[in-house]
Amino acid sequence: MTTAARILLVIGLLAWAGAFAPAAIGHDQGLAIAAAQDAPVCKKCQSAGRLPCTEHEREICALEDAVLYCSVIADCPVCHGVGFIPCPDCQNAPVRAKIEEKIASIAARKVALAYIDTTMGRSIRKAESQHFVLVWEMDRLKVEKKWIESHELLHLYLKRLEALYTDYCARMQITDKEFVEKFRVFVWQLPQDHADAGLRFCRQSAKGGVKLMGQTPSYSVCGNKQNFQDDEKLHRNIVHSVTHLILSAQRPVAWIGNIKAGWLDEGLAHFFEDRYWSICDTYCFQEANTNVDFKGGKFRLAVRKMVDEGKTPPIAEVFEQNVDTLTLPMHAVSFSYVECLLNKDPAKFNDLVKKLKAKVPTRDALKQAFGFSVMDFENQWKSWVLQTYPTK
Ligand SMILES: [Zn+2]
Ligand SMILES: [Zn+2]
Ligand SMILES: [Zn+2]
Ligand SMILES: [Zn+2]
């Protein structure tokens, strides 16, 4: 019974008592009101109807609410992976039903994700959220000056992935309808695990991160100190790489990076790096340790300077490259083209993406989606850069 229903019942009883026993009403009414105030509050759970599982820290239990499945606590004999148990001191049917539902769903997801353990030959730390499956085999990391253990990192990175997805959809003005499958992200501590997983889940192997674009969008990366100096660098790499996955998985499913639209593929991935850090330093070369750097990753400054000095790469050439043939200055202007077009009109930008996926050359796709020629665009873009980008 809800609190409101209880109060209504008490009021009803009082009215009934008032009608039939006027002499006793003062005393009875006092008791009944006291009961109405006390009854709904369960001291044990503050009427939440559930308690954090005794087997884990309170803060960890709270994290479990955000995920559909977490392998770290999935086998807990007390909460069965939920992180919470029904309160033994009160009866809250909706909360109990929710817990039962999640227990069943956790059991199903455990079976559905077992292929990851089988493929790697051991049990693997992983979690699933609304749009992602994340494998997290990394040890602890320092995040903003605080050491965070692997289980909490699993939750943190899943939260970061969901935040990126939400932001991507908001910037592009699209919804879940554009996507069919969940994204899989694998982050390994050991190079050998990454080598194996790359081949097994992404059908390729390299020292740096590897992606499976389009269907079953997947990214595998070795996240240890040899490859990424700190949490921020790793996070930025994942933002960049997963942006590629999202773009390729967006309907119609296709990867534009190898059909001469490398500029938009890399440009959009850099756009999200710049959005959160004002630094773009992720390049999708297969070797992680090439230490590629273009102007300290400060693309706006670099682009402004190129425009000022009349040294921008020829736009017609940029629009002909695949991701692996873009030069560093081309990466920087590609980022800026994307930012300029996305700022102008996200709906038209999406239209452009669809046309590029259908292999329409950029020159024609730009005309069809935005209505301007390459030369028109270049002029508009240059004046926009001069008006909005910093000089230092
Ligand atoms: Zn309770
Ligand atoms: Zn967990
Ligand atoms: Zn538990
Ligand atoms: Zn890239």
Distance from the CA of 210 to the center of ligand 4, in angstroms?
Answer: 11
pLDDT at 33: 45
Helices (H), the chain: 3-20, 25-38, 58-64, 93-120, 150-172, 191-202, 231-249, 262-277, 299-308, 315-318, 328-344, 346-357, 362-370, 374-388
- 148 and 105 assigned to the same domain: no
pLDDT in tens, 29-86: 444 444 445 557 999 999 999 999 999 999 999 999 999 999 999 999 999 999 999 9
Distance from the CA of 99 to the center of ligand 1, in angstroms?
Answer: 14
Average pLDDT, the chain: 90
Distance from the CA of 163 to the center of ligand 4, in angstroms?
Answer: 19
User: Domain containing 241 — which CATH number?
Assistant: 3.40.30
* CA 363 vs CA 89, 153, 352: distances in Å: 69, 44, 10
Q: End of a domain among 231, 255, 279?
A: 255
Domain of residue 81: give its range: 50-66+76-120
Distance from the CA of 87 to the center of ligand 4, in angstroms?
Answer: 49
Distance from the CA of 86 to the center of ligand 1, in angstroms?
Answer: 8
- 284 and 380 assigned to the same domain: yes
- The verdict on residue 303 lying in a domain is yes
77 prior amide bond cis, ω within 30 = no
- 336 and 263 assigned to the same domain: yes
Nearest-ligand number for the alpha carbon of 270 = 4
What pTM does this model have?
Answer: 0.89
pLDDT in tens, 186-198: 999 999 999 999 9
- The verdict on residue 20 lying in a domain is no
pLDDT in tens, 213-236: 988 999 999 999 999 999 999 999
pLDDT in tens, 348-382: 999 999 999 999 999 999 999 999 999 999 999 99
Q: End of a domain among 215, 239, 255?
A: 255
- 224 and 260 assigned to the same domain: no
- 358 and 272 assigned to the same domain: yes
> Which residues are CB-contacts of 191 (< 8 A; sequence separation ≥ 6)?
207, 222, 224, 226
- The verdict on residue 131 lying in a domain is yes
- 296 and 262 assigned to the same domain: yes
- 329 and 355 assigned to the same domain: yes
| Number of domains within the chain | 3
Nearest-ligand number for the alpha carbon of 271 = 4
- 265 and 158 assigned to the same domain: no
- The verdict on residue 97 lying in a domain is yes
CA distance 264 to 244: 10
- 182 and 54 assigned to the same domain: no
- 354 and 262 assigned to the same domain: yes
- 323 and 245 assigned to the same domain: no
Q: Among residues 92, 122, 91, 103, which one has the least CA distance to residue 64?
A: 103
Nearest-ligand number for the alpha carbon of 79 = 3
Q: DSSP character for 223?
A: -
CA distance 197 to 210: 10
Instruction: Read off the amino acid at residue 380.
Output: Q
